[in-house]
Structure 1
């Protein structure tokens, strides 16, 4: 029996997928660029009065400050996103992310501004955090809510590709800058180049986002006049159980993503006395490999369910965490890169379906707010991870084993939370291919809602 062709999506939905992917790419470009640069040079540029280890700890702490601002953005943009729609807020979130990133590239260091330099750096990270807080849910939901239900796993994985693609861009630029300059030149001024080049990506992403239309799910919600006046209150009153379990399920990604990035890079440089390029290469290789892998896992999410696919990915991280640190501890470059690569690929396997998994837990009227709360309050945990993990390394005099066991424990906790979430198929998702939606008077081809026009 021939396999039916997959449902096609409207041109407006394709533009939404592209705009969401670009926003996600910029988000993770900023994330990777700041984390890597903070681990490499911010201790000397903004905290030169401290020892190398303490300076690195303070530099990584600035990363945590941005994470603490993200729930503010998540709550604010989530509220208006559930009330006024997804598309109207995505340009604002892009500006709040992009402009501070560019300005950091112009910010003088401690030698010029004194104590004002790290203070301004912290303020810029706060602005970035607020913008990032509203970006993830808006971009992911704009895509997921605009495509057929049977393909939401696949298309939902496309904005997630912004993680490795942004990582490739940021790591590639940093690696190129370190190769083409001496250590002194890189520390003095070359590190600023990737931050300044981010302005190009920002402008292009903004141009694409000006052409967005509203998602099908929200258009359908607005037609039913079912928009919530206080989405946060509704989430806390009616959906607190899936909210708490989702927070626990996402903890693994928040923790491991920050350990395998800036913490591992700082560990390699400070305690293993290896080149900083090892951590960067260990970021780029899995980022390239995981691009087709994540799309395939998105298809598996459509076939087996996003929750089940997510759980497989989380459990794979529990299996590979200790081996990664063991391979790092060998000090052999090939084994070190292999350990980082395998663990990052396992992390990508759960991340591929994460947005689809989270969107299935909440109805449309509170979905932006709820997903933002899950992601951004989880981001606080992620922001705390670099300084806490690095402090564990300092306390153990560079021994990674307690940190490795802590990572395994966190991952197993997330797996338990994901397993405890009962499967829930949202009853209010718009689907242009679902005959039930057609039977309720919705268009069979989805063109009207995909284009954001009202249906009488």
Structure 2
């Protein structure tokens, strides 16, 4: 018997998907641009009094500050997102990301204004972090809550594409700037151009996002007057078990995404003494390849379950961690790029279904708060990763194997947490007579009850 056609998507939902994708792309462009540029030149521009290795460590520490600010944005925007809706908050998150990014392009370095330069840089990075803290859950949920449940895996992967697409744009601009200028020119002023060009993207994306429609699920919640007065308290009181497990499941992405990003780039430059463009190319190639892969895995999640797809994708990162560093140490461009590409593709695989995996664990009235809490508290691990991982490299005189082992352990822990979530829900299903449901509220109730 042929499979029935999937439910059609309403025009308003399609506009929501587009607006969420463009906004997510812009936000990740801003955040990725900072991380890449910090690894390449911020040590020289804002911390010139330090040695090369220590300057890179301090620059990566400013990257970490943005991650620590993200939980603040997640909690604040999550609260109001669950209270007044998804749409209104997403415009503000974009402004908090876009304006600081543009200003960084105008910020004088240490040689011009002294210690005020890194202080202002840190402040702007905090604003970026707060903006992105509210963006992730809002963009994902605006899409997921506006499409039929049978297609949430696929359409939920589309806002996730904003991460690699934003990375392609940011890395591409940085790579172009490094190719068209000398090292001295790039460190002096050319690095600023991508930050200034982000102003154009900000204006365009804001225009699109103002047309974003409120999500279907939240509109229904408002009609039945089910909006929670204190979403965070409700979340902690009634859904603490799936919340803790989701935090553990999210940890691997927070750690691995930052190891294979700024840490690997800094490792290539400082310890392998190779061109910084290797790390950038190694970012762009998998970012392009992963686009159809993520959409395909979204469909796989709809067919076989997003939790199962998520668990196997997380485990794939454990398999490719040691090969990543082994291939980097060959010093051969082809093998180095291959190692980065394989690892990044595995990371993208779990990221494709991550938002849908998290969203289905919690009911609508606390979903924005819950997903933001999980994602942004997990970002604290991501913020710690660059300086801690780089410090491990410094302590081991550039040997990457202890770092690789730590990554594998974190990945296995996350896979175990995600698997336990599935086991708890399966046990709850066996206690009911109606069988499993894909409704987020029902999943949350069954997980807590188990």
CA deviations on 1:169-207 (whole Å, 9 max, x unpaired) are 011000000000000000000000111111111111100
Shift, 1:425, TM fit: 4.0
Aligned residue number for residue 318 of structure 1: 318
The answer (yes or no) to whether the contact 2:137–2:368 under 8 Å persists in 1 is yes
Matches within 5 A, 1:8-407: 8-407=8-407
The answer (yes or no) to whether the contact 1:86–1:138 under 8 Å persists in 2 is yes
TM-score, reference length from structure 2: 0.94
Shift, 1:15, TM fit: 0.9
Shift, 1:427, TM fit: 3.8
| Distance in 2 of aligned mates of 1:220 and 1:11 | 18
Unaligned 5+ runs, structure 1: 431-456
SS at 1:106's partner residue? coil
CA deviations on 1:242-264 (whole Å, 9 max, x unpaired) are 11110110100000000000000
| Distance in 1 of aligned mates of 2:319 and 2:83 | 42
| Distance in 2 of aligned mates of 1:425 and 1:234 | 22
Shift, 1:3, TM fit: 3.5
CA deviations on 1:121-155 (whole Å, 9 max, x unpaired) are 00001111111110000000000000000000000
SS at 2:123's partner residue? helix
The answer (yes or no) to whether the contact 1:361–1:426 under 8 Å persists in 2 is no
Shift, 1:9, TM fit: 1.1
Shift, 1:4, TM fit: 2.8
The answer (yes or no) to whether the contact 2:309–2:353 under 8 Å persists in 1 is yes
CA deviations on 1:216-239 (whole Å, 9 max, x unpaired) are 100111111110000000111111
1:429/1:147 CA distance change after superposition, 3 Å: farther
Shift, 1:110, TM fit: 0.3
Shift, 1:367, TM fit: 0.1
| Distance in 1 of aligned mates of 2:307 and 2:372 | 18
The answer (yes or no) to whether the contact 2:25–2:161 under 8 Å persists in 1 is yes
SS at 1:107's partner residue? coil
| Distance in 2 of aligned mates of 1:175 and 1:392 | 28
1:164/1:427 CA distance change after superposition, 3 Å: closer
The answer (yes or no) to whether the contact 2:362–2:440 under 8 Å persists in 1 is no
| Distance in 2 of aligned mates of 1:141 and 1:103 | 29
Unaligned 5+ runs, structure 2: 426-435, 443-450
Shift, 1:5, TM fit: 2.5
SS at 2:60's partner residue? helix
CA deviations on 1:334-353 (whole Å, 9 max, x unpaired) are 11000000000000110000
| Distance in 2 of aligned mates of 1:94 and 1:31 | 12
The answer (yes or no) to whether the contact 2:139–2:159 under 8 Å persists in 1 is yes
| Distance in 2 of aligned mates of 1:125 and 1:87 | 24
| Distance in 2 of aligned mates of 1:176 and 1:137 | 32
SS at 2:389's partner residue? helix
CA deviations on 1:61-110 (whole Å, 9 max, x unpaired) are 00111111111111111001001111111100000011001110110000
TM-score, reference length from structure 1: 0.93
The answer (yes or no) to whether the contact 1:98–1:198 under 8 Å persists in 2 is yes
Aligned residue number for residue 439 of structure 1: none
| Distance in 1 of aligned mates of 2:71 and 2:23 | 18
| Distance in 2 of aligned mates of 1:270 and 1:322 | 20
1:78/1:425 CA distance change after superposition, 3 Å: farther
The answer (yes or no) to whether the contact 1:217–1:429 under 8 Å persists in 2 is no
SS at 1:352's partner residue? helix
Shift, 1:426, TM fit: 5.3
Aligned residue number for residue 446 of structure 2: none
The answer (yes or no) to whether the contact 1:363–1:426 under 8 Å persists in 2 is no
Give the number of the structure whose residues are more often helix, by fraction.
2
Q: Number of residues paired by the alignment?
A: 430
| Distance in 2 of aligned mates of 1:419 and 1:380 | 23
